[in-house]
């Protein structure tokens, strides 16, 4: 009796571990691209006159790459505090989209899990996780996948920040590693463009992102995402109307 | 304002936004239209990140053939289409960027 309980428990641990490691593995290509960014952020924050300790802590308190870059730059320009806070808030607005998009898949979890996974919710953790969930649906241990992706990104971000602060941005050779980031996103988005509304959403978002590139606070990104979502949804609605007799 | 205070408030707002809808949609049913719309978040957001990375150089649009990121990106899109494999796409895209850079 006891041994079967133990066995069952071990089964849970194995399943959870498997899902976690799968998340880590899916995150690896993104980590390659993120690493140089973390180093550049560390060096930039230090140059901006933020102490080494505070520069490092920003990577775990805010934990959002592009907003940290912009905050460091604003601090260097000695911008007022409320401007920096407002900028961080607006630059990170897109996370609400990710939150909404993942919500149906995390619905059943405890508040503690929701807290943890929300803290780890970045662009890079969101992308592989949502694609996995849309493909396979919710399974008993699927939240461990997001934890694996999110935690490996968090860990890499802390280490690369520290390296940027203490060693600088010297990289061996001059391979543009940061290009791995858009490349990974390309590898993720191309296979999901299976229907016309999805292609239209991608194309319209891409064009809007170009047109709106010069908007402040990276608002172009969120505007582009909204345009893509609306275009996709409207086209899908039309396509399903046509199917009716 | 103290940098620590800025970080704490900025970090709390960021966390709040990440948590907001995971929390709310856990308590209330997601409306059907919204559910359909959310299906378009990944392609829209990812494209909105990718396209400027390939086409914007030093703050302005570069559609020329001399833009090696654009060419490497197009080659990577083709590689992704054919292979449907992340590692192959990255390797092909990186190789294209390096080779075009040397040429």
Instruction: Name the domain count of chain A.
Output: 2
Residue A176 lies in a domain: no
Residue A181 lies in a domain: no
Q: Do B51 and A206 touch (CB under 8 A)?
A: yes
Q: Do B43 and A181 touch (CB under 8 A)?
A: no
> Nearest CB to B97: which of A57, A61, A179?
A179
**pLDDT at residue number A218:** 78
Residue A187 lies in a domain: no
Same domain flag for A213 and A111: no
Return averaged pLDDT per consecutive 10 residues of chain A, 245 residues in all.
Answer: 63 89 95 90 90 96 91 88 90 93 95 97 96 93 97 97 86 73 92 94 97 87 94 90 61
Same domain flag for A53 and A121: yes
Alpha-carbon span A150 to A121, nearest angstrom? 7
**pLDDT at residue number B57:** 87
Q: Are strands B60-61 and B56-57 parallel, antiparallel or unpaired?
A: antiparallel
The answer to whether residue B61 neighbours chain A at the CB level (below 8 Å) is yes
Residue A200 lies in a domain: yes
**Tens digit of pLDDT for each residue in B58-101?**
888 898 888 999 999 999 999 999 999 988 999 999 999 999 99
Residue in A227, A177, A218 with CA at minimum distance from that of residue A95 = A218
Query: Does residue B103 register a pLDDT over 90?
Result: no
Q: Do B19 and A92 touch (CB under 8 A)?
A: no
Same domain flag for A118 and A219: no
* Helices A52-61, A65-76: crossing angle, 10 deg rounding: 140
Q: Do A101 and B72 touch (CB under 8 A)?
A: no
User: If you average pLDDT over every residue of chain B, what do you get?
Assistant: 92
Domain span at residue A232 reads 193-240
How deeply is B52 buried, as exposed, middle or buried, from its count of CB atoms within 10 A (0-12, 13-18, 19+)? buried
**pLDDT at residue number A173:** 57
Residue A186 lies in a domain: no
Q: CB pairs below 8 Å between A and B: how many?
A: 257
B-chain residue closest to A230, CA distance: B37
**B57 phi, psi to nearest 5 deg:** -125, 125
**pLDDT at residue number B27:** 86
The answer to whether residue B81 neighbours chain A at the CB level (below 8 Å) is yes
**Tens digit of pLDDT for each residue in B10-55?**
999 999 999 999 999 988 888 888 889 999 999 999 999 999 999 9
A139: part of which helix (H) or strand (E)?
A: none
**pLDDT at residue number A3:** 61
Sequence-ordered list of residues with C-beta below 8 angstroms from that of A77, at least 6 positions apart, any chain: none
Same domain flag for A153 and A198: no
Q: Where are the beta strands (DSSP E) in chain A?
A: none
> Nearest CB to A191: which of B13, B34, B84?
B84
Other CB atoms within a 10 A radius of the CB of residue A16 amount to 17
**pLDDT at residue number A180:** 87
The answer to whether residue B86 neighbours chain A at the CB level (below 8 Å) is yes
Residue A103 lies in a domain: yes
Q: Give me the sign of the Cα torsion angle A116, A121, A127, A133.
A: positive
Alpha-carbon span A54 to A61, nearest angstrom? 10
Among residues A113, A138, A171, which one ends one of the domains?
A171
Same domain flag for A165 and A211: no
Q: Judge whether A67 and A92 are in contact, CB under 8 Å.
A: yes
B-chain residue closest to A116, CA distance: B19
CA distances to A62, A91, A201, B60 from A197, in Å: 35, 27, 6, 29
**pLDDT at residue number B29:** 83
Same domain flag for A161 and A206: no
Radius of gyration (Cα) for chain B, nearest Å? Answer: 20
For the question of whether the overall pTM of this predicted structure is more than 0.80, the answer is: yes
How deeply is A110 buried, as exposed, middle or buried, from its count of CB atoms within 10 A (0-12, 13-18, 19+)? exposed
- Give me A23's structure tokens: 């998340």
A-chain residue closest to B55, CA distance: A210
Q: Judge whether B93 and A188 are in contact, CB under 8 Å.
A: no
Q: Judge whether A56 and A163 are in contact, CB under 8 Å.
A: no
Residue A217 lies in a domain: yes
Same domain flag for A208 and A148: no
> Nearest CB to A185: which of B21, B34, B49?
B49
Residues 14-33 of chain B whose Cβ lies under 8 A from any Cβ of chain A: 14-15, 17-26, 30, 33
First to last CA, chain A: 60
Same domain flag for A125 and A61: yes
Sequence-ordered list of residues with C-beta below 8 angstroms from that of A214, at least 6 positions apart, any chain: A220, B59
Same domain flag for A140 and A30: yes
Residue A188 lies in a domain: no
Same domain flag for A131 and A231: no
Same domain flag for A94 and A148: yes
Same domain flag for A13 and A60: yes
């Amino acid at each position: 009796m006891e041994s079967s309980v133990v066995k069952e428990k071990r089964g849970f641990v194995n399943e959870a571990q498997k899902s976690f490691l799968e998340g880590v593995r899916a995150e690896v290509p993104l980590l390659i691209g993120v690493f140089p960014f973390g180093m550049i952020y560390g060096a930039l924050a230090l140059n901006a006159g933020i102490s080494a300790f505070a520069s490092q802590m920003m990577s775990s308190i805010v934990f959002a790459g592009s907003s940290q870059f912009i905050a460091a730059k604003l601090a260097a320009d000695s911008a007022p505090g409320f401007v920096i806070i407002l900028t961080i808030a607006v630059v990170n607005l897109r996370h609400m989209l990710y939150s909404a998009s993942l919500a149906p898949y995390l619905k059943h979890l405890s508040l503690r899990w929701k807290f943890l996974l929300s803290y780890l919710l970045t662009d890079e953790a969101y992308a592989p996780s949502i694609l996995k969930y849309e493909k396979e649906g919710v399974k008993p241990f699927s939240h461990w996948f997001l934890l694996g992706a999110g935690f490996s990104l968090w860990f890499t971000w802390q280490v690369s920040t520290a390296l940027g602060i203490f060693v600088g941005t010297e990289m061996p050779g001059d391979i543009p590693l940061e290009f791995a980031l858009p490349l990974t996103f390309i590898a993720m988005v191309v296979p999901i463009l299976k229907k016309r509304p999805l292609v239209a959403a991608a194309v319209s978002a891409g064009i809007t992102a170009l047109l709106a590139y010069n908007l402040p606070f990276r608002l172009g990104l969120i505007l582009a995402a909204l345009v893509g979502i609306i275009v996709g949804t409207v086209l899908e609605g039309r396509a399903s109307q046509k199917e009716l007799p | 304002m103290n940098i620590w205070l800025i970080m704490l408030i900025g970090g709390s707002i960021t966390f709040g936004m990440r948590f907001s809808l995971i929390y709310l949609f856990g308590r209330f049913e997601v409306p059907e239209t919204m559910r359909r719309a959310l299906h378009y978040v990944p392609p829209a957001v990812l494209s909105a990140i990718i396209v400027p990375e390939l086409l914007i150089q030093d703050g302005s649009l570069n559609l020329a053939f001399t833009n090696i990121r654009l060419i490497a990106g197009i080659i990577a899109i083709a590689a992704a289409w054919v292979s449907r494999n992340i590692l192959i796409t990255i390797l092909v895209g990186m190789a294209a960027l390096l080779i075009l850079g040397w040429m």
